[in-house]
């Protein structure tokens, strides 16, 4: 497969690495290295977008797509995306997280299943339905699906659970969200959820006090790409 990498970026990065930590001007050289690596990253992101667009065109224009070819194409896309994003786990998991972000700001309404409003489990059920995965309706039932995941292994698209807003520490499952990013160095994760009547669909962090106290666990619904 042809990959459009900026040769200039690679040469510049190699040259800077050779001299980055010696001689005068090292600070400026490190800045140059950062800029060139950012350029390289943008090239890889552009290539992953091209692969995705080609695949979508293929799906639209053909009644029959070779399954193995499609799986291989999606594997290429996931590989490119994960180079600079360690929280990327699978194509469908990443896609689910991206779809969820499209609904930021929509209101929380108890019992709502979208697309104009959601409650927490209705939101997860709606988003997963968009990638072809059926989830049960309540957060308590969703906690029984997939496999249990520890925090250091979390990836985009994984579901995370807490006891409900009126629950005490150790109470039963009452709230659910979806991983959108993981800071592995600092040990916290960001997740999107239908939060409350005040905040609606929003992104929160696991190191906020309530979520620290009421965390119950995580489940992986979509297996990682191999």
Q: Which tokens sit at 39?
A: 């350029």
For the segment 177-199, the average pLDDT, to the nearest whole number, is: 92
- The model's pLDDT over 10-39, given as tens digits with 9 standing for 90+, comes to 444 444 444 444 454 554 555 455 556 566
pLDDT at 196: 85
Secondary structure letter of residue 118 according to DSSP? B
Lowest mean pLDDT segment, chosen from 97-111, 140-154, 161-175:
161-175
pLDDT band of residue 80 (cuts 50, 70, 90) is low
Of 104, 122, 61, whose CA–CA distance to 192 is shortest? 104
Backbone dihedral angles phi then psi of residue 210, each to the nearest 5 degrees: -60, -45
How far apart CA 210 and CA 216 sit, in angstroms, is 12
Is 162 in contact with 139 (CB distance < 8 Å)? no
Is 222 in contact with 92 (CB distance < 8 Å)? yes
pLDDT above 80 (res 117): yes
Output the furthest CA–CA distance in the chain (Å, rounded).
Answer: 64
Secondary structure letter of residue 175 according to DSSP? E
How far apart CA 33 and CA 27 sit, in angstroms, is 10
- The model's pLDDT over 134-161, given as tens digits with 9 standing for 90+, comes to 999 999 999 999 999 999 999 999 999 9
Of 101, 54, 99, 57, whose CA–CA distance to 77 is shortest? 54
Q: What is the CATH number assigned to the segment(s) 91-220?
A: 3.90.1720.10
Which of the pair, 27 or 215, is modelled with greater confidence?
Answer: 215
pLDDT at 169: 52
Is 119 in contact with 174 (CB distance < 8 Å)? no
CA distances from 62 to 55, 59, 66, 76, 102 (A): 11, 6, 10, 21, 28
Domain residues of the chain, as ranges? Answer: 7-83, 91-220
pLDDT above 50 (res 81): yes
Question: Are β-strands 173-183 and 159-163 bridged in parallel, bridged antiparallel, or unpaired?
Answer: antiparallel
What mean pLDDT is reported for the chain?
78
Q: Spell 164-196 as b/e; 16+ CB within 10 A means b.
A: eeeeeeeeebbbbbbbbbbeeeeebbbbbbbbe
**Hey, how many other C-beta atoms are within 10 angstroms of the C-beta on 206?**
21
pLDDT above 90 (res 225): no
pLDDT at 88: 83
Active-site residue numbers? 120, 175, 193
- The model's pLDDT over 69-78, given as tens digits with 9 standing for 90+, comes to 666 666 666 6
Of 93, 116, 95, 121, whose CA–CA distance to 105 is shortest? 116
How far apart CA 84 and CA 40 sit, in angstroms, is 10
- Percent residues over pLDDT 90 in the chain: 46
Cα atoms found within 13 Å of the Cα of residue 164, Cβ hemisphere only? 11
pLDDT above 90 (res 49): no
Tell me the CA end-to-end span of the chain in Å, nearest whole number: 19
Mean pLDDT comparison of 5-14, 17-26, 51-60, 197-206, highest-scoring range: 197-206
pLDDT above 90 (res 61): no
pLDDT band of residue 179 (cuts 50, 70, 90) is very high
């Amino acid at each position: 497969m042809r990959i459009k990498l900026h040769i200039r970026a690679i040469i510049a990065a190699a040259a800077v690495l050779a001299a980055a930590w010696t001689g005068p001007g090292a600070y400026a050289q490190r800045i140059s290295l950062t800029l060139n690596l950012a350029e390289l990253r943008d090239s890889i992101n552009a290539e992953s977008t091209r692969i995705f667009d080609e695949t979508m065109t293929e799906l639209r224009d053909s009644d029959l797509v070779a399954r193995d070819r499609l799986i291989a194409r999606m594997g290429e896309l996931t590989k490119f995306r994960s180079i600079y994003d360690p929280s990327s786990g699978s194509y469908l998991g990443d896609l689910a997280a991206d779809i969820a972000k499209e609904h930021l700001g929509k209101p929380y309404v108890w019992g709502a299943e979208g697309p104009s409003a959601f409650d927490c489990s209705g939101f997860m059920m709606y988003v997963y339905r968009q990638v072809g995965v059926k989830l049960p309706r309540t957060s308590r039932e969703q906690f029984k699906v997939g496999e249990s995941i520890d925090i250091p292994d979390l990836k985009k698209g994984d579901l995370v659970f807490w006891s409900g807003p009126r629950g005490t520490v150790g109470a039963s499952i009452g709230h659910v969200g979806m991983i959108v990013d993981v800071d592995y160095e600092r040990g916290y994760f960001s997740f999107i959820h239908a939060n409350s009547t005040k905040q609606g669909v929003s992104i929160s962090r696991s190191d906020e006090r309530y979520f620290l106290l009421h965390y119950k666990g995580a489940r992986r619904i979509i297996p990682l790409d191999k």
